[in-house]
Structure 1
């Protein structure tokens, strides 16, 4: 299965060097219809100079009173950039090290946000989601905290959510205290039990998947998924060859449904070859 660590064709575990793919990447962050400020941060970085070009993608959705949500997500983005650039300049990460590499980067981001929150009473309690992806060759590695999401969408057949939402209702559903339908309908379905920056340490989920030509990787904040269910998100992403058009179409659809929160999206399309991005 491609949603696991094993080859879809032969069932062998991932090993060896990544196969050359290139990616066209686009991103957007929209304030939505009801908010006056944008507490999301979305970033895309491209890297060259080692064996293969690479891309890092981040969606962070801040939370907290007044402007502290904006501060939290911006702090995550700044910390990730500092760490990821320094580590890339030092060495090209090996495929088997990618998950650990990204977890370390998000731990540093967690420490940075927590320190800033503790240093200013106005920022106490601030936090952020963080979904960080690294694309290199035919591998995508992801580190994740919160309820922003990553999806893998092949050209045909089922697409799926890679990440797990760290929401209280999702946790209650997992232990049988609530049905999936009750969790989805709950007015408290955005309450997180895990976030960046709210405690000195945080548990980080990580994943690695294999990409193929025509696959799309979508990262997004919950401002999209609260209005656009998975099947529609997957269909809209597939309808647009250009990732920038896919981003705009998804934002428009979420805003037509109410746009109750900020909407941030990154779409990466895998193509044959080893150079070129946008």
Structure 2
């Protein structure tokens, strides 16, 4: 059982670095203090409680430190058991699920201005790709004292994989390209290296982070 987080700077370089590190450190501390197994309901409650606590801590820290006012970070986390995964995200860092022979499927929602335009039918998917306001976030961790959460649970069968990644990766690699790399007969570490290399080759202007977690019957647990 494990929890993974990936945070991206937002709200200024220095303050964003602080928010990102604090979010990861606080999450690791809270998880290390937990013992026992989760039911699905317990997992969702625990993860929601964690994120709301982290969010408030970041907000109060920023209010008390003028140099950090307005700091925030995106967040994507997965609580994994042998039977299910419970996931949540804030901002535009994403979580995908993948099974062999299928395309990767995004299982989180982007909290961005462009995604709101897309959902309301004001722009097309093609227009969203290069929209000049695609980096504007509608939700980030630490910028307000309370936060809305989209937490959900998915079946976690043998052979399933999840990808947790920043938009620096997904802005450069299509679902088809991610799936192509996942189908490659390489280790998970080699696949993450391939994704980062491909994203950098395509421009690599932004932070590129990716973690792959498998529930594989062959014991590949990297």
Q: CA deviation at 1:149?
A: 0.4
Output the CA distance in 1 between the equivalents of 2:220 and 2:201: 34
Output the CA distance in 2 between the equivalents of 1:101 and 1:240: 36
Q: Where does the alignment leave 5 or more consecutive residues of structure 2 unmatched? A: none
1:272 to 192, 210, 217: 217
Q: Name the TM-score, length of structure 2 as normaliser.
A: 0.94
Aligned length: 222
Q: Does 1:173 align with 2:101?
A: no
Q: Which residue of structure 1 lines up, in the alignment, with residue 27 of structure 2?
A: 80
Relative contact order, higher structure (CA 8 A, sep 6+): 1
Q: Which residue of structure 2 lines up, in the alignment, with residue 69 of structure 1?
A: 16
Q: Which residue of structure 2 lines up, in the alignment, with residue 12 of structure 1?
A: none
Output the CA distance in 2 between the equivalents of 1:192 and 1:101: 25
Partner-residue secondary structure (3-state), 2:97: strand
Output the CA distance in 1 between the equivalents of 2:185 and 2:21: 30
Q: Name the TM-score, length of structure 1 as normaliser.
A: 0.76
Partner-residue secondary structure (3-state), 1:267: strand
Structure (1 or 2) with the greater strand fraction: 1
Partner-residue secondary structure (3-state), 1:251: helix
Output the CA distance in 2 between the equivalents of 1:240 and 1:114: 44
Structure (1 or 2) with the greater helix fraction: 2
Output the CA distance in 2 between the equivalents of 1:94 and 1:211: 13
Q: Does 1:146 align with 2:91?
A: yes
Q: Which residue of structure 2 lines up, in the alignment, with residue 40 of structure 1?
A: none
| More divergent stretch after superposition (227-236 vs 264-273) | 264-273
Output the CA distance in 2 between the equivalents of 1:246 and 1:78: 26
Q: Flag the 1:137–1:144 CA change in 2: closer, same or farther, 3 A.
A: same
Output the CA distance in 1 between the equivalents of 2:177 and 2:112: 22
Output the CA distance in 1 between the equivalents of 2:97 and 2:153: 11
Q: CA deviation at 1:204?
A: 0.9
Q: CA deviation at 1:110?
A: 0.4
Output the CA distance in 1 between the equivalents of 2:80 and 2:13: 35
Q: Where does the alignment leave 5 or more consecutive residues of structure 1 unmatched? A: 1-53
Equivalence map 1:1-278=2 (5 Å)? 54-86=1-33, 88-89=34-35, 91-272=36-217, 277-278=221-222
Q: Flag the 1:166–1:227 CA change in 2: closer, same or farther, 3 A.
A: same
Output the CA distance in 1 between the equivalents of 2:124 and 2:159: 35
Output the CA distance in 2 between the equivalents of 1:229 and 1:277: 25
Q: Is the 2:74–2:93 contact (alpha carbons within 8 Å) kept by the matching residues of 1?
A: yes
Output the CA distance in 1 between the equivalents of 2:186 and 2:2: 19
Output the CA distance in 2 between the equivalents of 1:108 and 1:80: 9
Q: Is the 2:2–2:79 contact (alpha carbons within 8 Å) kept by the matching residues of 1?
A: yes
Q: Is the 2:6–2:165 contact (alpha carbons within 8 Å) kept by the matching residues of 1?
A: yes
